[in-house]
Amino acid sequence: MQSSVGSRAFQNARLQKQARKQAEVLLPAAVKAYREGRHLETQTLCRQILKDLPNHFGALHLLGASGNDCGRFDEAATVLTRAVGIDPRSAEAQSNLGLSLFRLNRYEEARACQERAIALKPNFATALTNLGNTLMHLRQFEQAIAAHDRAIALKPDCGDAHCNRGMVLLLVNRNEEAAQNFDRALSFNPRHLPALLGQGLVSMNLRNFDRALSTLNTAVATAPAPAAAGIIVQRGRLFQQLGQLDKAEADFDAALGLDPRLEPALCGKANIGVLTENIASAITACNKVLAQNPNSEAALSVLGACFAKQGEIATALDHFDRALAIRPDYEDAITKRIFTLDYLPEVDLERLQAARKYWWEAIGAKFPRRQLGQRNLDPERRIVVGYVAGEFRAHSAVLALLPVLRHHDRRKFEIIAYSCSPVQDATTAECRSLVDRWVEAWELSDDRLADRIQADQVDILIDVSGHTADNRLPVFARKPAPIQVSGFGHATGTGLPVMDYVLADKVMIPEAARHLFAEKIYDLPVVITIAPPPPVPPTPLPMLRNGYVTFGMFNRTDKISDPVLKVWAKLMQSLPGSIMMIKNGALNDSLVRDRLIARFAAHGIAEDRLRCIGSTPRNEHLAMFGDVDLALDPFPQNGGISTWEPLQMGVPVVTKLGTVPAGRAGAAILKAVGLDDWVAADDDGYIAIARRYAANPAELSALRASLPAMVANSAGGNCAIYTRHVEKGYRKFWRDYCAGGTR
């Protein structure tokens, strides 16, 4: 027995000795193959060694390093964990394991490995710059820059370290400094792909779009197929910024063709889906991201927007909150949350203003205030007014601003338009014709736009966009003009302490609520006006020919809250045969349309009583009011332009007076034209108003005939009178400033 055991031990020892000798031959061959980029051969040789010597450190380490290079990070992490278990004092193995964990988004574990590698080998430049990358993803930006600086000090010609430092600087908006780092990396290697990408991103941030496109095209042409995917995604983002959504989507699809799991490409695809009202596509892309990365703040934010589009406001807000729990300064989620809160039933003004204050503390307060130079403080001189808007095109916000541009007294006011979107149409051309100076602000970075506003000596700077797409609130945060005002587009307050006034009215913001605003409220006859519509022939009351009443809601579908839908359903059930026309571009999407129909069905309203209509040209849109007897204003967020339009076409609107500004806009407009009795105090009153007029077609017909003139003759609907009130406000703001203060 003892002889048998001894024989086996001897045999095992002999086999181990043979395996070690074989490893001494195979490992150098594997190293040579690795250095020449022959990874399949490298891995085959390493596995051959490990078959007989499973704890061979050199083979484990090389197999893991090769796995990293091939993008097989799960396998690499497993192998390298075994390697550092065998030799925990190998700085190289610790560093390579840190890289695997970094690629798996396990940043705290990666950091621990990289710090161990540096402790073992303090002059390890590669580990230092890799640590910098990890710290960047942990959003510890100053520590990340310091790690890259140490790497560069040890190895000044380390292009990767210069490039990685530039990437951190991009995230803290030090774009010019980042560009210098990318230039340095490219001086060592003109084909350094990450540095080319970095230069493209810098150019995008600085809004030098031609250079950005040229640089990214060069990078795409230079990159091998797997690496090209990430660069193509950034080019897609550039096209999206330029409003070229077809090209953007094509790039996101191309990137996904190379890497179907690429998170930025999926998020880009989702964004395009939201922008083009293809909500089903957006949801699919978001869910793919979250399946592989539940902590993707970008996917959570876009998915929240998808739920908001379907009227699921509480679910949307939950997604924005989850995104902000991951990244508290994620501006996209902050902005979407502000916008969506206005749709939440029973929301109070304190919560709305707290959300706006959050934007200021997380984003706006970080920008240094501008020092303004001397200017002529003559209170009666011609005032320079600058309008900053992303909506100088066919958009509801510009429908509110256009009448003012048309009627401004140019002898007393010099008007400058700062256009913040590359998307242009016939309305853009009209806006351009109505101002003294036109600035393509979308081509200017925030700092350069602030410089331009200061150079233009703007006295009163007007924000039209609020917390919506293409806004330039970071420019207003810098305070490049002595007086700053919010109005026209989204006049519910910005929450910025640097904003001096918000244009509103006494109904929209009652006196008791005004202390909650960062801005001082200036009252107009009504919060917004609208230009007269193109000529559309008057139409008789539809119910006289149809034999039933037709209600209409030509507004955003995400304004159809559960409370208002419940009221509408109760109203329709009380009027058998009545139908509801709902018109909005979102209804082009079958998912949104079917979801809306299902919500009505849940309240007992069959599909055949609904007319769901998508986008149409404006003339057709207005003509469709000829088929509507009564318009129904949604709540808690009312219509603005969509309340003015039916009134101009002779269709009265039923609204309910809410508790927050967005829920009081409908009442403000109706009261401004003398329709006080169309404003309900509660749900029952809302139904009672609609039922009363539905039962009195003669009275409704008379009102239909007189309403357009009532609108045109009111202080709110007469655009010339309205503009004089706006200009009176501007003059007051300027006189107060000249006298010693804007407030």
* Cα separation, 592 vs 587, whole angstroms: 6
CA 346 to chain centre: 25
241 with 336, same domain: the answer is no
pLDDT band at 10 (very low <50, low <70, confident <90, very high): low
Residue 693 clears pLDDT 90, i.e. is over it: yes
Closest CA to 236 of 197, 206, 292: 197
Q: How far is CA 611 from CA 174, 277, 574, 641, 690, in A?
A: 52, 19, 19, 21, 19
pLDDT score of 743: 45
Q: For position 704, which CATH number holds?
A: 3.40.50.2000
Q: What is the pLDDT of residues 412-435, one digit of tens each?
A: 999 999 999 999 999 999 999 999
What integer is the mean pLDDT of 376-383? 96
Unique residue bearing structure tokens 């000829």: 626
Structure tokens at 20: 């070690």
pLDDT score of 224: 87
105 with 243, same domain: the answer is yes
pLDDT score of 538: 82
519 with 601, same domain: the answer is no
What 8-state DSSP symbol labels residue 531? P
Burial of 534 (0-12, 13-18, 19+ CB in 10 A): exposed
What integer is the mean pLDDT of 4-26? 70
What integer is the mean pLDDT of 488-497? 87
* Cα separation, 390 vs 427, whole angstroms: 13
Q: How far is CA 36 from CA 23, 29, 32, 33, 618, in A?
A: 20, 11, 6, 5, 64
Question: Range of 322's domain?
Answer: 261-341
Least confident interval from 351-365, 414-428, 463-477, 533-547:
533-547
Residue 405 lies in a domain: yes
pLDDT score of 12: 58
What are φ and ψ of residue 105, in 5° steps?
A: 65, 25
* Cα separation, 395 vs 250, whole angstroms: 26
DSSP H or E segment with residue 86 = helix 73-86
pLDDT score of 277: 87
What integer is the mean pLDDT of 385-413? 94
Give the residue from 254, 283, 308 where a domain finishes.
254
pLDDT band at 2 (very low <50, low <70, confident <90, very high): low
Q: What is the DSSP string of 91-130?
A: HHHHHHHHHHHHHTT-HHHHHHHHHHHHHH-TT-HHHHHH
Residue 704 lies in a domain: yes
Find the angle CA(612)-CA(617)-CA(623) to the nearest 5 degrees: 70
Q: What is the pLDDT of residues 364-375, one digit of tens each?
A: 999 999 999 899
Unique residue bearing structure tokens 């003059």: 731
Structure tokens at 703: 């009102």
Residue 13 clears pLDDT 80, i.e. is over it: no
* Cα separation, 622 vs 55, whole angstroms: 78
> How much of the chain exceeds pLDDT 70, in percent?
97
Residues 329, 332, 338, 344, Cα dihedral to 10°: -120
68 with 87, same domain: the answer is yes
Let me know: does 141 contact 172? Beta carbons within 8 Å. yes
Could you tell me the pTM of the whole model? 0.87
194 with 128, same domain: the answer is yes
238 with 268, same domain: the answer is no
Q: How many domains does the chain have?
A: 4
Q: Examine residue 260 and say whether the peptide bond preceding it is cis (omega within 30 degrees of 0).
A: no
What 8-state DSSP symbol labels residue 369? P
Helices (H), 408-531: 426-433, 446-455, 473-477
Let me know: does 137 contact 107? Beta carbons within 8 Å. yes
397 with 300, same domain: the answer is no
DSSP H or E segment with residue 437 = strand 437-439
pLDDT score of 742: 47
Q: What is the DSSP string of 639-651?
A: -SHHHHHHHHTT-
Residue 534 lies in a domain: no
Find the angle CA(303)-CA(338)-CA(277) to the nearest 5 degrees: 40
82 with 229, same domain: the answer is yes
* Cα separation, 223 vs 225, whole angstroms: 6
265 with 247, same domain: the answer is no
Helices (H), 456-519: 473-477
Give, rounded to a whole angstrom, the gap between the first and last alpha carbons of the chain: 102
Q: How far is CA 31 from CA 23, 73, 97, 127, 448, in A?
A: 12, 20, 18, 21, 52
233 with 249, same domain: the answer is yes
Give the residue from 254, 270, 291 where a domain finishes.
254
For 588, other C-beta atoms within 10 Å of its C-beta total: 15
Q: For position 320, which CATH number holds?
A: 1.25.40.10
620 with 556, same domain: the answer is yes
What integer is the mean pLDDT of 564-572? 97
Burial of 710 (0-12, 13-18, 19+ CB in 10 A): middle
Long-range contacts of the stretch 280-283 (C-beta < 8 A, 24+): 280/589, 280/590, 280/591, 282/306, 283/591
Closest CA to 304 of 334, 329, 326: 334
Residue 329 lies in a domain: yes
Q: What is the pLDDT of residues 162-205, one digit of tens each?
A: 999 999 999 998 999 999 999 999 999 999 999 999 999 999 99
Residue 363 clears pLDDT 80, i.e. is over it: yes
What are φ and ψ of residue 415, in 5° steps?
A: -110, 125
Q: What is the pLDDT of residues 76-101, one digit of tens each?
A: 999 999 999 999 999 999 999 999 99
pLDDT score of 52: 87
pLDDT score of 15: 59
Residue 721 lies in a domain: no
Residue 6 clears pLDDT 60, i.e. is over it: no
Closest CA to 336 of 311, 306, 360: 306
DSSP H or E segment with residue 654 = strand 653-656
* Cα separation, 203 vs 237, whole angstroms: 12
Q: Is the dihedral of CA 302, 303, 309, 315 positive or negative?
A: negative
Closest CA to 46 of 21, 26, 65: 26
Q: For position 465, which CATH number holds?
A: 3.40.50.11380
Residue 735 lies in a domain: no
Q: What is the mean pLDDT of the chain?
A: 94
What integer is the mean pLDDT of 502-530? 95
DSSP H or E segment with residue 653 = strand 653-656
Residue 366 lies in a domain: no
Rounded to the nearest 10 degrees, what angle do helices 57-69 and 91-103 cross at? 30
Residue 102: what residue type? F
What integer is the mean pLDDT of 270-298? 95
pLDDT score of 322: 98
What integer is the mean pLDDT of 343-352? 91
Q: What is the pLDDT of residues 202-232, one digit of tens each?
A: 999 999 999 999 999 999 999 988 789 999 9
Find the angle CA(216)-CA(222)-CA(224) to the nearest 5 degrees: 115
Give the residue from 488, 523, 558 where a domain finishes.
523
Residue 217: what residue type? N
* Cα separation, 520 vs 483, whole angstroms: 12
What 8-state DSSP symbol labels residue 463? E
Residue 375 lies in a domain: no
99 with 213, same domain: the answer is yes
Q: How far is CA 450 from CA 346, 362, 370, 445, 447, in A?
A: 38, 20, 8, 8, 5
pLDDT score of 8: 64
